[in-house]
Amino acid sequence: METVVLTLDQVEVNSEGYLKNVNDWSPELAREIAAKENIQLTEKHFEVLNWLRTKQAEGVQLSIRKIGNSGIVDIKQFYALFPGGPLKVSSKIAGIPKPASCI
């Protein structure tokens, strides 16, 4: 079991850095995870993160296309907000498991 020590909390993550317990997530923790990805979160980031968390809780299979159709951001904006693999990075920051569509 890997553990990441953050300034706010100590949480368990898997070998890829995703939270093991989605209930450990908080906006403060998201900011710390994002900082490790060199992303400074804005309100638009949190809109996307909250949408991801809601859809994941509903059991929706997440994909970049679905995010592009969310009405929050288009695909180009999604890539700009979460560079370097936007679905993987945003899911990690949102505290949800890595989507099956991500390699």
The residues carrying an active-site annotation are 102
Per-residue DSSP letter, 60: P
- List all residues 6 or more positions away from 95 whose beta carbon is below 8 Å from its beta carbon: 18, 19, 22, 24, 25, 29, 30, 33, 53
CA distances from 8 to 15, 28, 44, 68, 94 (A): 21, 8, 23, 32, 16
Distance CA(64)–CA(4), nearest Å, equals 27
